[in-house]
Each structure stands twice: as structure tokens, then as C-alpha cells.
């Protein structure tokens, strides 16, 4: 039995979960998210909990059991609290301004770089820290990864975007004679 999959997902107050036609929809104070239910998985909503069970003990259904429970739990957290990732920009002359859906950045290229966030993701800029926030954990992580890919941190001086909790392993560089 999957250690994650056998745990029920508790439904907080103000959140409604509906399962119909192979789709689970979670509605809460911050918005609504929907996800298709994997074919090897059964979902039941009862007593303020979502219980995830699998149809058989085959390898495919065992692998999808914990995944489906984690996806539903992330949807519940997203519509109640939301998710956010913070990226820090290091480097002399690198700058950012903007916010909301669009950020303009000077990253040492010959042109300014403009990044537009997709619908459902908000960007906020404070000095050299950009915060990516939204209700979908997957979408927030994807947008943060796309921003980081614009200028990855290099190992000698650490210039570029890095997550605030990320540790960049530095290289020593060249030594003199």
C-alpha cells in the first residue's frame, strides 16, 4: 500500500470538491482547479475527506495511487493558501522592474528581456527578488523555472537567477603562477 496514497485528504471549510466524468474539481476562496482522474484510481468524497483507492494491485495502479493523492492535496492547498517561489537576481548591472503579469529585465544582453506570466500567475518585484505566486503548484514551478532559465547562476561569481533557498557551489577559478 502506498504510504502517501492511503492518507485521506481533509477538506477544509470553504472548499468544495466534486468528482464527475473522470474529472475532479476543487473550488475554494482563491479560485478553482480541475484535474482528470487517472483511469486506475477511484475517488470517494465522504465525511469531509477525499479517499483515494486503486482498482487493482498492478504496477501501473500502484504507481499512480500516491501521485493522484498528492495532486489532489496540492489542489486543496492551492485554492486555500496558494503557492509562491522566490528568485534572487545577483550580478552587477542586472536589474528588474515591473510586476503583475509582466517584468522587464536587464540581464547583460544587448537588449532588455521582457517576461510575460501566463494567466493565473502573479509576479512581484522587490529590489533584486522576484516572487512568482499562484494557485497551481505546477504552473508556479514552471514559470519560476522559465525565469531562472533566462540567466542561470554561473559557478564562478554566482551571477544570474537563483532560488532564495538554493545553494550555488562555487568554483575556485584560475590561479596565478
Q: For the domain that residue 64 is a member of, what is the CATH number?
A: 3.90.930.12
pLDDT at 5: 86
In angstroms, rounded to a whole number, what is the distance separating the alpha carbons of residues 173 and 177? 13
What average pLDDT does this structure show over 134-139?
Answer: 95
* Residue 31 covered by a domain: yes
For the full predicted model, state whether its pTM sits above 0.75: yes
Of 47, 80, 113, the residue at which a domain comes to its end is 80
Full residue range of the structural domain in which residue 89 is found: 83-163
The beta-carbon contacts of 94-98 under 8 Å, at least 24 apart in sequence, are 94/128, 94/151, 94/159, 96/125, 96/128, 96/130, 97/125, 98/123, 98/125
What average pLDDT does this structure show over 144-155?
Answer: 94
Of 80, 95, 111, the residue at which a domain comes to its end is 80
pLDDT at 173: 85
Give the other-Cβ count within 10 Å of 94's Cβ.
16
Provide the b/e sequence for 159-168 (b: ≥16 CB within 10 Å): bbbbeeeeeb
Residues 54 and 19 in one domain: yes
Residues 25 and 69 in one domain: yes
Residues 97 and 67 in one domain: no
Position 79 confidence tier, pLDDT thresholds 50, 70, 90: very high
In angstroms, rounded to a whole number, what is the distance separating the alpha carbons of residues 111 and 8? 51
Q: Which of 127, 78, 137, 135 is nearest to 99 (CA)?
A: 127
pLDDT at 112: 93
* Residue 121 covered by a domain: yes
In angstroms, rounded to a whole number, what is the distance separating the alpha carbons of residues 78 and 30? 8
**Helices 59-80 and 137-150: angle between axes, nearest 10 degrees:** 80
Residues 46 and 94 in one domain: no
Of 59, 80, 101, the residue at which a domain comes to its end is 80
The count of domains in the chain is 2
Residues 66 and 98 in one domain: no
Residues 49 and 69 in one domain: yes
Residue 1 has pLDDT above 70, yes or no: no
Amino acid at each position: 500500500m502506498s504510504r502517501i496514497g492511503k492518507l485521506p485528504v481533509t477538506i477544509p471549510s470553504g472548499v468544495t470538491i466534486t468528482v464527475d466524468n473522470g474529472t475532479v474539481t476543487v473550488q475554494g476562496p482563491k479560485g478553482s482547479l480541475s484535474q482528470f482522474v487517472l483511469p486506475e484510481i477511484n475517488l470517494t468524497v465522504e465525511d469531509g475527506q477525499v479517499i483515494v483507492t486503486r482498482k487493482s494491485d498492478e504496477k501501473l495502479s500502484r504507481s499512480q495511487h500516491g501521485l493522484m493523492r498528492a495532486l489532489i492535496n496540492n489542489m486543496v492547498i492551492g485554492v486555500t493558501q496558494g503557492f509562491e517561489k522566490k528568485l534572487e537576481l545577483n550580478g552587477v548591472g542586472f536589474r528588474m522592474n515591473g510586476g503583475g503579469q509582466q517584468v522587464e529585465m536587464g540581464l547583460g544582453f544587448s537588449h532588455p528581456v521582457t517576461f510575460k506570466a501566463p494567466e493565473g500567475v502573479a509576479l512581484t518585484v522587490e529590489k533584486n527578488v522576484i516572487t512568482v505566486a499562484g494557485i497551481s503548484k505546477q504552473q508556479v514551478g514552471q514559470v519560476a523555472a522559465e525565469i531562472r532559465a533566462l540567466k542561470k547562476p554561473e559557478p564562478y561569481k554566482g551571477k544570474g537567477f537563483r532560488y532564495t533557498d538554493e545553494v550555488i557551489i562555487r568554483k575556485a577559478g584560475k590561479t596565478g603562477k
